[in-house]
Amino acid sequence: MQEKVAIIGAGAWGTALAKVLAEKGEKVALWVREPDLAERISSKHENDFYLPGIKLPKKIQATPDVAEAISGADFLVFVVPSRFLRKVVKTASEKIKGEVIAVSCTKGLEEKNLSAPAEILHQSFRARGITAPIVVLSGPSFAREVAQGVPTAVVSASNDREAAEKVQKLFSNPLFRVYTNPDPIGVEISGVLKNVVAIAVGISDGLGLGLNTRAALITRGLAEITRLGVKLGANPLTFSGLSGMGDLVLTCTGDLSRNRQVGLALAQGKKLDEILAGMKAVAEGVSTVKAVRKLAHKIGVEMPIVEQVFAVLYKNKEPIQAASDLMARRLKYEHESIGRGWPE
């Protein structure tokens, strides 16, 4: 049975997902904020701004009209930057008629309310009396490689098993494998924080600190992600999976990572405003680090890498000093629970 899917957001990732679904034969509407870009996608069958060089199926319906995009949709897939998500979801929720499944593909944290994307969807839907199940789709997946047909595996996570399995079935094809997971909090927190750690790794690599340092930052970054996630109710096993370690490694080491590129540029002495002005797409870690730091302070979770990235981005701290301060911290157990296992 053919499904209608509305992809809300025509950045690289939204466009790549639209391509995956259209090639499977699903009916796909792609909401594009910029009317001129929507027209070019429809006429040239290419997103020449966010995903140039990738030919798109002609059946993708690109439109700047949210109501047109979601009309009759069975699935609403939100792929917009986190700082715009609440406004876009509010607009979309006013147009929803009938039953839908909402899918969050946004990776970030709202600074004002400290809300993750799935919570923003839930709050907005509840305000309109909408009871749509919410699924988080996340994992190690550069948009360009997905659009090129590179074998990729991601996770469909939800408290609603049936909804998670429907999203799994919707997106899965021989080159795009989707697993299910009952821990949307863990999956989403992984997606939020991996971008911050990727900035740290980019800084380290840009300073030429070596592969040992890179490995240490990724591993200790995962420890910070896990501490925060578990405190929020996540299953620790989630962080060893695709949306955790998998996405973290990809974002920290892959040259297509925007957040890694931010870190590399900072290490070269470039100013943040200059770096961001030269980027087409959003590096979520730049804004997310503020919200993550605030959340960590609020719930009492120690996150030294987050603290140093924040200091470099917003306190003019020299990157090499941030690296030095991380190494000079108080000596401690690697895992407190393991340390407590020694006899007194």
**Active site amino acids:** 194
How far is Cα 309 from Cα 296, in angstroms, rounded to an integer? Answer: 14
Residue type, 99: E
Residue type, 279: M
**CA dist list (Å): 30 to 5, 11, 22, 62, 118:** 8, 10, 11, 5, 20
Strands 75-78 and 61-63 come out as unpaired
How far is Cα 111 from Cα 65, in angstroms, rounded to an integer? Answer: 28
CB contact burial 151-169 (16+ within 10 A = b; e otherwise): ebebbbbbebeebbebbbe
List, in order, residues 6 or more apart from 288 with CB less than 8 Å away: 82, 108, 109, 192, 193, 195, 196
